[in-house]
């Protein structure tokens, strides 16, 4: 049995939905189908989720979101009409949307999640209706019916452990199951969503709970590439990659999968295959527990992420002061800052985090003052406008000279390094550069590790 998830571009219009259903029906093992909300039909279009967010925001602002609601209904109606489904399904979708708009708005996050989830929920109803209209047995199954329970962290919910046992009930349902991605229900019965892109996570949870043979993630690209196609011309397609490698690349800017997607399938040992809805016969990229690599394929990909800043802290004899690191990180925790990396020396430490977490200069100055005064530091400063470039590959652990090749390539491109960091797992190597040099850094590293093979 397989779980197959289809993204927003795969469900953007009737033509795409027909492609999705052809793919599903071409393999009898595809029993559980996870769907996203309809995405963009063309570049200037608006995703249904964004239409729903606009609708929710208008309702919260003045309680009159009729025009915004009608825009969402029209998107679904256009699809339904092109699929020749009749009025019944659209009346059902319209009633659902109108009901959500009447929900209590006193808890903004809860209301917003209920509205956002309508995209996936009604997309699933539409796909199930189409399959039944062409004589194929399909059933829409709600996450509530299936027991997909999430924490009450609206907009950033986490799956609760009991969900995995609950979801086994899906095995007893006949026909093709159409399951909406992106959301579940709290123990109190409220809708809660994963972060944007969370339909990937839903598919992974279902695949892990049912211990299927394969989790297929259909998107709009033929494969995962060794570098972002927007940065590197015609990059190498990756045929096989490990869970750890893919998670590192997703975290560092690869947008093919949400970075949290792989945790459930990794724990369950379910392989993942990323494929293209518009080219379903292409082999795609397989994500597995381990892979073979040669001396020329020890690096699997290069990614970049920008808009970082770094707090630099210096204090003589820091290494002798027990608890210094804990106290430093406690200050950041108090101020609501989560960190990414902490490269350090004997008497200094750097804390790297996303710049977006510092909302204004007063918060920045408060953090710096607290660190200096509470920890009696010699020097505290903050550096903005950094980008992190990472090289990822399981094979780096057993390959001599990777760091040397990388730094030489960057030096030849006249790129100044702000920092270097390599984790003990040796799966990734990180280079901090100025934000404006990130593109050039990715190209120089790609040329070194892929064009010289």
Residue 250: its pLDDT value, please? 78
Q: Torsion over CA of 429, 434, 438 and 440, rounded to 10 degrees?
A: -110
Residue 419: its pLDDT value, please? 86
Structural contact between residues 34 and 5, judged by C-beta atoms closer than 8 angstroms: yes
Contacts of 375 (CB under 8 A, 6+ apart): 313, 315, 324, 327, 328, 331
d(CA 339, CA 444): 28
pLDDT band at 428 (very low <50, low <70, confident <90, very high): confident
- On whether 225 is known to bind a ligand per the annotation, the reply is yes
Residue 198: its pLDDT value, please? 87
Residue 295: its pLDDT value, please? 67
- On whether 428 is known to bind a ligand per the annotation, the reply is no
Residue 13: its pLDDT value, please? 97
Is residue 303 within a helix (H) or strand (E), and if so which, with residue range? strand 301-314
* The pair of three-digit structure tokens given for residue 54, joined into one six-digit string: 């606009």
Tally of CB atoms within 10 A around 226? 23
- On whether 8 is known to bind a ligand per the annotation, the reply is yes
pTM, full prediction: 0.85
Q: How far apart are the first and last CA of the chain?
A: 38
pLDDT band at 204 (very low <50, low <70, confident <90, very high): very high
- On whether 96 is known to bind a ligand per the annotation, the reply is no
pLDDT band at 39 (very low <50, low <70, confident <90, very high): very high
Residue 425: its pLDDT value, please? 61
d(CA 98, CA 384): 45
Given a cut of 90, whether residue 188 has pLDDT beyond it is yes
- On whether 84 is known to bind a ligand per the annotation, the reply is no
Q: Apex CA 13: angle with CA 12 and CA 18, to 5°?
A: 110
- On whether 120 is known to bind a ligand per the annotation, the reply is yes
pLDDT band at 449 (very low <50, low <70, confident <90, very high): very high
Domain positions in the chain are 2-219, 301-451
- On whether 5 is known to bind a ligand per the annotation, the reply is yes
- On whether 172 is known to bind a ligand per the annotation, the reply is no
Percent of the residues in the chain that have a pLDDT greater than 70, as a whole number: 98
Tally of CB atoms within 10 A around 180? 27
**pLDDT 10s digits, 110-163:** 999 999 999 999 999 999 999 999 999 999 999 999 999 999 999 999 999 999
In the CATH scheme, what architecture does the domain 301-451 have?
2-Layer Sandwich (3.30)
Percent of the residues in the chain that have a pLDDT greater than 90, as a whole number: 80
**pLDDT 10s digits, 265-315:** 999 999 999 999 999 999 999 999 888 877 677 899 999 988 899 999 999
**pLDDT 10s digits, 96-112:** 999 999 999 999 999 99
- On whether 261 is known to bind a ligand per the annotation, the reply is no
d(CA 312, CA 316): 14
* Range 2-219 classified under CATH 3.40.50.12370: no
């Amino acid at each position: 049995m397989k779980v197959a998830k289809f993204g927003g571009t795969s469900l953007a219009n009737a033509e795409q939905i027909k492609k999705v259903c052809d793919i599903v029906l071409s393999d009898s093992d595809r029993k559980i189908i996870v769907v996203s909300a309809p995405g963009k039909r063309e570049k200037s279009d608006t995703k249904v989720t964004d239409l729903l967010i606009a609708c929710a925001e208008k309702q919260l602002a003045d309680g009159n979101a009729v025009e915004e609601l009608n825009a969402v209904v029209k998107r679904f109606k256009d699809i339904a009409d092109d699929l020749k489904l009749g009025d019944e399904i659209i009346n059902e979708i319209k009633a659902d949307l109108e009901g959500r708009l009447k929900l209590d708005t006193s808890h903004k996050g809860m209301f917003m999640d209920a509205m956002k989830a309508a995209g996936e929920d009604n997309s699933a109803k539409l796909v199930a209706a189409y399959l039944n209209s062409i004589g194929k047995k399909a059933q829409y199954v709600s996450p509530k019916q299936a027991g997909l329970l999430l924490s009450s962290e609206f907009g950033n919910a986490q799956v609760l452990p009991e969900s995995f046992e609950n979801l086994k009930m899906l095995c007893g349902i006949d026909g093709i199951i159409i399951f909406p991605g992106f959301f579940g229900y709290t123990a109190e019965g409220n809708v809660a969503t994963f972060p944007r892109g969370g339909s990937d996570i839903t598919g992974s949870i279902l695949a892990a709970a049912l211990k299927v043979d394969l989790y297929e993630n259909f998107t709009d690209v033929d494969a995962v590439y060794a570098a972002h196609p927007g940065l590197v011309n015609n990059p190498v397609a990756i045929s096989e990659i490990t869970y750890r490698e893919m998670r590192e690349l997703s975290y560092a800017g690869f947008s093919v999968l949400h970075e949290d997607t792989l945790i459930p399938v990794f724990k369950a040992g379910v392989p993942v295959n990323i494929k293209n809805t518009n080219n379903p016969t292409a082999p795609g990229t397989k994500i597995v527990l381990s892979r073979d690599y040669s001396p020329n394929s020890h690096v699997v990909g290069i990614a970049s992420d920008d808009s970082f800043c770094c707090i630099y802290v210096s204090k003589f004899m820091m290494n002798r002061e027990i608890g210094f690191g804990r106290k430093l990180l406690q200050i950041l925790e108090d101020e609501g800052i989560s960190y990414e990396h902490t490269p350090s020396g004997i008497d200094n430490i750097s804390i790297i985090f996303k710049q977006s977490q510092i909302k204004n200069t007063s918060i920045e100055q408060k953090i710096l003052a607290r660190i200096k005064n509470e920890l009696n530091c010699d020097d505290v400063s903050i550096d903005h406008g950094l980008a992190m470039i990472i090289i990822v590959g399981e094979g780096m652990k057993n390959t001599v000279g990777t760091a040397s090749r990388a730094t030489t390539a960057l030096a030849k491109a006249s790129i100044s390094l702000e920092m270097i960091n390599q984790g003990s797992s040796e799966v990734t190597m990180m280079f901090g550069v100025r934000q404006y040099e990130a593109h050039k850094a990715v190209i120089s590293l790609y040329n070194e590790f892929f064009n010289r093979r």
